[in-house]
Structure 1
Amino acid sequence: MAPPDYSAQVLREPPVKVTLQPSNHPYLNGAWTPLREEVTVEELPVIEGAIPTDIDGIYIRNTENPVHQPLGRYHPFDGDGMLHQVSFSGGRASYRNRFIRTRGFEAEQEAERALWGGLMDGPGVSTRPGFGAHGRLKDASSTDVVVHRSQALTTFYQCGEAYALDAETLEAEGIAPWVPLDGISAHPKVDLETGELLFFNYSKHAPFMHYGVVDPAGKLVHYVPVPLPGPRLPHDMAFTKNWSILNDFPLFWDAELLKKDIHVARQHPLPSRFALIPRHGTPDQIRWFEAAPTYVLHFLNAWEEGDEVIMDGYFQHNPMPAPLKNADGYGHMMAYVDEHSFKPKLHRWRFNLATGETHEQSLDDRILEFGTYNQRMSGHPYRYAYSTTTKPGWFLFNGFVKHDLETGESWSLTLPEGRYASEAPFAPRVNASSEDDGYLVSFIIDENRGTSECILVDARDIEAGPVCRLALPHKISSGTHAYWVERVHLPR
């Protein structure tokens, strides 16, 4: 099939300044090849199937796209943030992508070179003070994205400033004005029922963690300390109707090396701990629960049943993996982004508020992560979860698994070799009749053809594959997190 002709409909933004040179770095090539251009396409052409008329909302994904030659050793999480967005309405779909104009990005555009070192670099590489918990890194705002109050909010995994863009147009709206001094971590949560945004941050100074709530009008209405024994590296949180759930895992920076400004994570002989705090609670109301030692990158849903708070997520069975074989010296980094090395598996924790005990169980023995579910069920009992599978040795999604958490059944969709997906949020059908009545939305990078697509998969029958494939105007880079927002949740 001939490729779509975009020449008459692609609107291109002025080019950004680029100094990045070709290299053999495994995460600057292939599906992780950086994208430099920013475009708008008002109507995406269909490759296969038809765009359903019962989907109405926005799919938006964050990616790492470095534009400057790194000062030291590049880590894939160092790249500049870029949003890719597809807007669905009335059986049509548009596309646009934009760099996130962080303060770091703008400073480096002005200097026409990199100013900050990365995650794998030691002291003395960055030329300016950095941001967030680490203190030497650029806040690239490239990890996560959610939509709150019609704004796409992008965040950085080591804590940063939270940048706002118009969710429809991706026009930059600057730093969210409510962000506290210590910033916010990736993975703030939007409660669709209340319109609130829940977040946490962490730092290297006492009390080492804070928790906050932003109201539907975009005002910070609650912000309290969550005291920890020392600096920690939390990455995600969960919430129920009444509780927010934070964590203290035994994988965190080595205290002795930290005194020398060297940031090396170690697994310590400690249990996992979970902090349950009432939605608008105070530090004295925190309930701490101990659990088996692990590290968790991502949680799914959480809810309440009687005296129990129940939470699902991905329990790592090997949080400190051995380096992978790599002739270019990237083996340590490659192991820490390879799920088949750190072995996350679907897991359930039960916190009993009456006894203070924790009970936990494994829900699947497969390597799974980056799960999504119907966001209408957030904070409530739910039935269906959708996880990703990955290519061994790589941070590349190669399929999806749907779980029926009531019956224990599961169904899989594995992509052909050379095709890699993005995190795939659940998009409910308009007037949906059941929890799984909707679509999984994802971007696909096709390394065989050098192209990219946006696909829709019927969530009730994922084994059937895409019901619709849309051609993108360029090959995008792989990345991290994505979000779906229904248009009814975009206030005007």
Structure 2
Amino acid sequence: MQITKQPPVKTTLEPSNHPYLSGPWAPLHEEVDVAELEVIEGEVPADIDGIYLRNTENPVHQPLGRHHPFDGDAMVHQVSISRGKVSYRNRFIRTHCFTQEQIADGSLWGGLMDPPGTSKRPGFGAHGGLKDTGSTDIIVHAGVAYATFYQCGEAWMMDPETLDNLGKAPWGPIDGVSAHPKVDEETGELMFFNYSKHAPYMHYGVVDRAGKLVHYVPIPLPGPRLPHDMAITKNWSILNDMPLFWDAELLKRDLHAARIHEGLPTRFALIPRHGQPEEIRWFEADPTYVLHWTNAYEVKGEEGDEVVLEGYHQSKPMPDPLEEAGQYSHMMAYVDEHSFQSRLHRWRFNLTTGETTEERLSDRIVEFGMINPDYLMKPSRYLWSTTTRPGWFLFNGYVKHDTETGEEQVFELPEGVYASESPMVPRKGAASEDDGYLVTFLIDENTGTSELAILDAGDVTKGPICRLKLPHKISSGVHSCWVERGMLGSK
């Protein structure tokens, strides 16, 4: 394996036993290029051609206060797969904050769990005091990769093939861009939202295939909220107002503590893709919180047209502390799916009657699901979720859901081996919705190594059908995406 190393970044981070600064979350600071990865087992499928991008958390400097796993600096890992060959590279995202801390030789901003006054400089995002890392999501629109921050940041651009940093999105509004913009490949449009602590508290926008902001409107809310994701259909964009948000009294003291507000429903805002605030259709549902949606689509129902939304309903959005975690008890619970109890769920919004109906699709604790991208905004039957290690934010297996029959396939990784969010990649000339692959990075704490793994999406129980050696152990993180080679020429 021929490795080309990039100049090292400056770091002041000290060794730590913090649960999210060690083990599978131990930060990586090395940036490299590898022309061709070594195959450990199996054979790289010749019928996929594209790029897998994975955004991870890698703090470079010693924290000013208490560290939260979502405080880390963004590093994007990429593999390019073509004709059975695989290359690899990884790069930090050079956000404004990353660059300023490199100049300062240390941290300038506090983290999610730190009190007011920790940061040495004014912060960013809806929180108002955080570092804009771009370390949450990664998508590709019109041939450009965009890394976004869950608390709303600048939206940082990279070349998806070279990982060259391209600066901040020129179309980004003053309130920033939340993680989880959505792309409609047919129209070439990107839909996004943001949120803040000042009225109207949320905005929604559309960017065209040329990278121009063509639509931007307020979504009036009763107060500051904490939405995380959005969904799209052919005609509608779906935003939300959920009862888990900052405590209003504490917020007056600049303390950001999320609380469940009893008596408030979950509300969904359906707005036409290029619609105005007065065109919003509001629907109410049972109280919950949802981190991620998996798909949304429009159907003809028995009592009128419906919009169907699928995602992960939390039974306990404000979980009990994990007392065995000691000083980290609250933080560990809020990132543990088994604590907030997320399960696959379906909401139906009847556009004729204005009613909402709901149904649970699985009793398993799962999250971070992927569908066949060819079925985005269409009725989809199959879904691939990840399972997690109880008490931790670590993916330890997969569940393939058949939402028509309720049948599930389960694959558990060996103890001490953890996966990444894993896009479903349709096979070239696929014969069915589940004909394709899952692509992922594995972190093996038993050997201190990482691999690229490819699974058969049609039968995940077989485990990896192909494994390739990475040049270093990567850190865990949050989101990833797959982009077909043919989509890269549009930049």
Using structure 1 for the length normalisation, give the TM-score.
0.98
Deviation at 1:326, TM superposition (A): 4.1
What is residue 483 of structure 2 aligned with on the other side? Answer: 485
1:221 is aligned to 2:214: yes
What is residue 177 of structure 2 aligned with on the other side? Answer: 184
What is residue 18 of structure 2 aligned with on the other side? Answer: 25
Partners in 2 of 1:376 and 1:145 — Cα distance? 19
Q: Is the 8 A contact 1:192 1:376 kept in 2?
A: no
What is residue 348 of structure 1 aligned with on the other side? Answer: 346
Paired letter, 2:489:
P
What is residue 395 of structure 1 aligned with on the other side? Answer: 393
Partners in 1 of 2:238 and 2:295 — Cα distance? 11
1:242 is aligned to 2:196: no
Q: Deviations over 1:136-166 (max 9, x none)?
A: 0000100000011111100000000000000
Paired letter, 2:440:
S
What are the residue-to-residue correspondences of 1:48-127 with 2, within 5 Å? 48-127=41-120
What is residue 422 of structure 2 aligned with on the other side? Answer: 424
Deviation at 1:430, TM superposition (A): 1.6
Deviation at 1:351, TM superposition (A): 0.3
What is residue 289 of structure 2 aligned with on the other side? Answer: 295
1:274 is aligned to 2:272: no
Q: Deviations over 1:242-273 (max 9, x none)?
A: 10000000000011111111100110020000
Paired letter, 2:3:
V
Partners in 1 of 2:79 and 2:348 — Cα distance? 37
Paired letter, 1:300:
T
Which contiguous aligned blocks of 4+ residues in structure 1 show a shift greater than 6 angstroms?
Answer: none
Deviation at 1:73, TM superposition (A): 0.2
Partners in 1 of 2:383 and 2:358 — Cα distance? 18
SS, match of residue 400 in structure 2 = strand
- Equivalent of 1:404, from 402, 405, 409? 402
1:476 is aligned to 2:474: yes
What are the residue-to-residue correspondences of 1:377-396 with 2, within 5 Å? 377-396=375-394
SS, match of residue 84 in structure 1 = strand
1:37 is aligned to 2:30: yes
- Equivalent of 1:321, from 319, 322, 327? 319
What is residue 196 of structure 1 aligned with on the other side? Answer: 189
Deviation at 1:34, TM superposition (A): 0.4
Q: Deviations over 1:193-232 (max 9, x none)?
A: 2111110000000100000111111111111100000000
SS, match of residue 41 in structure 2 = strand
> What RMSD in Å do the two structures reach over aligned CA positions?
0.8
Deviation at 1:461, TM superposition (A): 1.1
Q: Is the 8 A contact 2:115 2:255 kept in 1?
A: yes
Using structure 2 for the length normalisation, give the TM-score.
0.98
Partners in 2 of 1:327 and 1:369 — Cα distance? 22
Q: Is the 8 A contact 2:325 2:332 kept in 1?
A: no
Partners in 1 of 2:345 and 2:240 — Cα distance? 15
Partners in 2 of 1:34 and 1:402 — Cα distance? 30
Partners in 2 of 1:397 and 1:21 — Cα distance? 26
SS, match of residue 411 in structure 2 = strand
How many residues are paired up?
A: 485
Q: Which moved more, 1:26-35 or 1:191-200?
A: 191-200
Q: Is the 8 A contact 1:192 1:375 kept in 2?
A: no
Paired letter, 1:404:
D
Deviation at 1:325, TM superposition (A): 2.3
What is residue 286 of structure 1 aligned with on the other side? Answer: 280
- Equivalent of 1:456, from 454, 467, 483? 454
What is residue 167 of structure 1 aligned with on the other side? Answer: 160
Paired letter, 2:270:
L
Deviation at 1:376, TM superposition (A): 1.4
Q: Deviations over 1:302-335 (max 9, x none)?
A: 0011211001000000011111124650111000
Q: Is the 8 A contact 1:59 1:482 kept in 2?
A: yes
Q: Is the 8 A contact 1:48 1:468 kept in 2?
A: yes
Give aligned-pair identity as a percent.
70
SS, match of residue 291 in structure 2 = coil
Q: Is the 8 A contact 1:122 1:262 kept in 2?
A: yes
Partners in 2 of 1:48 and 1:189 — Cα distance? 35
Q: Is the 8 A contact 2:236 2:271 kept in 1?
A: yes
Partners in 2 of 1:236 and 1:89 — Cα distance? 31
Paired letter, 2:91:
R
SS, match of residue 391 in structure 2 = coil
Paired letter, 1:155:
T
Q: Deviations over 1:338-362 (max 9, x none)?
A: 1110000000000000010000011
Partners in 1 of 2:183 and 2:81 — Cα distance? 21
Deviation at 1:404, TM superposition (A): 1.2
Paired letter, 2:268:
F
Partners in 2 of 1:42 and 1:387 — Cα distance? 31
Deviation at 1:433, TM superposition (A): 2.0
Deviation at 1:20, TM superposition (A): 0.5
- Equivalent of 1:47, from 30, 40, 43? 40
SS, match of residue 244 in structure 1 = strand
Paired letter, 1:397:
F
Partners in 1 of 2:187 and 2:376 — Cα distance? 11
SS, match of residue 445 in structure 1 = strand
Paired letter, 2:148:
T
For structure 1, list consecutive stretches of 5 or more residues without a partner in the other structure. 1-5
Partners in 2 of 1:410 and 1:338 — Cα distance? 22
Partners in 1 of 2:240 and 2:50 — Cα distance? 32
SS, match of residue 250 in structure 2 = helix
Partners in 2 of 1:491 and 1:229 — Cα distance? 43
SS, match of residue 261 in structure 1 = coil
What is residue 333 of structure 1 aligned with on the other side? Answer: 331
What is residue 3 of structure 1 aligned with on the other side? Answer: none
Partners in 2 of 1:63 and 1:327 — Cα distance? 23
Deviation at 1:431, TM superposition (A): 2.0
Partners in 2 of 1:190 and 1:374 — Cα distance? 14
